[in-house]
Amino acid sequence: MPSSFLRKLISRARRRLWSSPISSMPGLLRAEATRDKDIAAEIGDYERAVGFAHSAGSMPLRTLLRIERLLTGTSIVSAETGCGKSTIFLSRIAERHKVFCYDDRGQTNSSVDYFLNCPATRQDRLDLVFGPTQLTLPRYEDHLPYDLVLIDGPHGFPFPDLEYYYFYPHLKTDALLVVDDIHIPTLSRLADFLSEDRMFEKLEFVGSTAIFRRTDAPVFDPLGDGWWLQDFNRRRASFLKDIYLKDGKKRAPISFEGIY
């Protein structure tokens, strides 16, 4: 059994290897997208020319390739909050890709300029919705049934939850819901909730990215309440109440007030 110190070293090495550019790997070991054999190499070339990240940071290309492998179907419709390398990638594997992001064009290390200036970006497949997602998502009425939604906009509470609220009714069965930056507590809390929700199957935690698949469970009523129907709440409810979920996965409540 490796020591705690050794486990930390191994974990750190894995994270660095995962986030390192694809071009640093030998040719035979380089992954590629199944729907577009050239996109990984083209993004790699672009990264070497202009840099590996922009002002908002950058999702590792390996994570994007893993997401693509987990997608089902052929004619993909996707959406994301935030933008950057993921926008380049999704513009190539999706028929339509909706981007909800802040317009920072012309600023230093602009995330929007990063994908707009990339020759690999299919701008004809993009629907750009500029502005704070706190304002644009509540007003947006042209959603489609999505095969993939990536939540990677503002990370402060309650903004990731707000983005989830406006997207989850539009996810197809078997669609992917991806939550990035789960090392941030507000995002990890959302990922924890989704991990226990009947609408989602937890597929993988890849680095700091959580990937879920939409099940065939009914859509939770977005205009109701129903907190007592959600497994996350039922496992943390008082065991004296009828709603307590007796599935052997009891969780401590946030405030137990001496009843446990």
pLDDT band at 162 (very low <50, low <70, confident <90, very high): very high
- Predicted model pTM: 0.84
Closest CA to 191 of 222, 134, 151, 230: 151
Q: Tell me if 166 is assigned to some domain.
A: yes
Q: Is residue 184 domain-shared with residue 258, that is, in the same domain?
A: no
Mean pLDDT, to the nearest integer, of 251-260?
A: 54
Q: Is residue 97 domain-shared with residue 179, that is, in the same domain?
A: yes
**What is the distance between the alpha carbons of residues 105 and 96, in angstroms, rounded to a whole number?**
22
Closest CA to 151 of 172, 173, 167, 171: 167
Q: Is residue 182 domain-shared with residue 238, that is, in the same domain?
A: no
Look up residue 226 and give its two tokens.
């129903």
Q: Tell me if 114 is assigned to some domain.
A: yes
Q: Is residue 130 domain-shared with residue 159, that is, in the same domain?
A: yes
Q: Tell me if 25 is assigned to some domain.
A: no
Q: Is residue 69 domain-shared with residue 172, that is, in the same domain?
A: yes
Q: Is residue 196 domain-shared with residue 254, that is, in the same domain?
A: no
Q: Is residue 191 domain-shared with residue 255, that is, in the same domain?
A: no
Q: Tell me if 22 is assigned to some domain.
A: no
**What is the distance between the alpha carbons of residues 164 and 217, in angstroms, rounded to a whole number?**
17
Q: Is residue 179 domain-shared with residue 203, that is, in the same domain?
A: yes
Find the CATH number of the domain harbouring 93: 3.40.50.150
Q: Is residue 98 domain-shared with residue 125, that is, in the same domain?
A: yes
Check residues 220 and 235 and name the one with the higher pLDDT: 220
Closest CA to 130 of 67, 82, 186: 82
Q: Tell me if 73 is assigned to some domain.
A: yes
Full domain range(s) for residue 206? 36-224
- The per-residue pLDDT for range 179-223, each reduced to its tens digit, is 999 999 999 999 999 999 999 999 999 999 999 999 999 999 999
Give the per-residue pLDDT at 254.
Answer: 56
Whether residue 154 has pLDDT greater than 50: yes
